[in-house]
Structure formats: structure tokens, C-alpha cells
Amino acid sequence: MMSWLCGLVGEGISSSRSPAMHEREAKNMGIPLVYRIIDTNQWKGGVQDLPDIFHWLERFGFNGVNVTHPYKQAIIPLLDELSDAASAIGAVNTVIFKNGKLSGHNTDWSGYAANFKQTLPNASLASIGQIGAGGAAAAVAYALLSLGATELKIFDVDKKKAHDLVERLQNLFPLAAVHMAQSAEDALNGASGVVQTSPIGMDSHPGTPFPSSLLTEKQWFSEVIYFPRETKLLGEARRKGCPTVSGIGMAVFQAADAFELFTGLTPDRERMLREFD
């Protein structure tokens, strides 16, 4: 019987739920799959170690790995091939090892889109304020514009990163209005919805990226973080009465899409969502 060896490469990811999601679904399907964590914090590693990491992953017989913060963009120069979505987004969260080549894919955008449509099917996409312009942010913005967002305002403390993402997205979606906001307040002002894509709020990056006083109850609020299950900002948005989308559904649906790339088999996405812990 075929078996699979997969994993997750990132920084500060020791509490990731990815191993449990993949291994549990594989068990439910009756297939042998092992999913390992490769956390560069464990040896004070960084982006300079990516070539060695992926060299040894391939040598050790990994079928594929997920890639998370802060390596979703840094990994691209090491890859032989990119899927259309990963190329358009400029970020990779799944790498497949096959026939001596490394191919990069992006399941963040499809996972976010599926979760958003399921959770807030009637949400207004007239104007969206987005915080963050990193790898996950690029995928989320791509998803929202693919779903029909007409205006997107993006703020990041790294202004060059925000500028580059805005330029990329405007070229991909010429009928939409994509702007660089000068502050979080600027991004959120007048927005029908707000999406928080920065790592601020994760267990490894505590805090909030902006004060919750900037949110209004008329806005929907979405974020991509899933550990902790509820960040301080998500909790405050709920208490304000904002319709909310947590990062759990995105985490599950992107994992399901990655599982399919790893194995060539179709997982039960709703079962994975029900069993998420």
C-alpha cells in the first residue's frame, strides 16, 4: 500500500493543528500518512536555511509539505514550477516533491474563498479594508477579488510590500479598485468588511494589529489566524455585533486542498471541519 510523508515548514508553529488534521483524515480514509512539523524556531533558523531544509526533505522522501509564515514568498526562488494561482498570487503554501522537481501551489486562496462563501454568503463586497500584505494576505485578497469585491484597500506597516501587492492585484483585476491605505484607520474607514491577515494575534505574535474601536457593528470581520481559536480582536468584533469569519474554516479547507495535492485522493471536507480541534 502507498504511504505518504508530509509536513509543515514555518516559524513558531509548534502548536499547529495541521498534523492532527492531515493524520486524522488519512486515518478516516484508511491510508497511512505521517505529517511532521519543521519549525525553524527550534534551532534559531531562518530564510537562509530554506535551501538546506528542502534539499533534505526531498532526500528524506517527503511527498510534499505545507509552507507557512514567514516563508510563503521566500520559498518561490527554490521551486521548479508554480501553479497558475501561486504565480498570480506570488505566494506558495504547498510544495509537492515529484519526479525530482519541486512544484509550488497555493491552497490558501481556495480555502479562504470556500470558508467565506459558506460562513457569510450574503456579505457585501462593495468595499473591503485589509490589514497585512504578506503571503497569506496576497491569497486572501486574490480570493476576495475573485469573489467579486469591487474595492480593496490594503494597509501594511511595510509600505513597499503593500505597494507591490496592490500593483500586482490591480493588474490581475483591472475592473476592481485596489488601493494602498496609509494607515489601518484609512483602510477600515467606510469599508463594508474588514479582513485581518497579519500574524499579530497568533500565540507566537500576541496583541492586536489595530484597536477594535476602529470597527463598527455594520462591518463584517474576518481573519486568517486559527490558533488561538479566537484572537482578542475576533472576540471584540463579535462582542460589537460584527458578523465574523474565524480562521478555522480557511485552515481546514486549505488543508483539505493540500491533502488532495499530496495524495491524489479527495478528503471529506465537512468531516475535517467537524473534527477540527
| Known binding residues | 16-18, 68, 84, 93, 108, 132-136, 224, 226, 247, 254
Catalytic residue among 44, 72, 159, 232: 72
| Binding-site annotation: residue ranges for NADP(+) | 84, 132-136, 224, 247
160 counts as catalytic: no
**Which residue has 463594508 as its cell numbers?**
192
First to last CA, the chain: 29
For 53, 197, 223, the CA distances from 152, given in Å and listed in that order, are 36, 13, 15
E strands present in the chain: 4-10, 33-39, 64-67, 81-82, 94-98, 101-105, 128-131, 151-155, 177-180, 193-196, 220-223, 244-245
| Binding-site annotation: residue ranges for shikimate | 16-18, 68, 93, 108, 226, 254
For 15, 97, 251, the CA distances from 18, given in Å and listed in that order, are 9, 19, 8
CB 79 within 8 A of CB 65: no
CB 273 within 8 A of CB 247: no
> Residues 6 or more apart from 76 whose CB is under 8 A from it?
82, 86, 90, 91, 92, 104
Please give the positions annotated as active site: 72
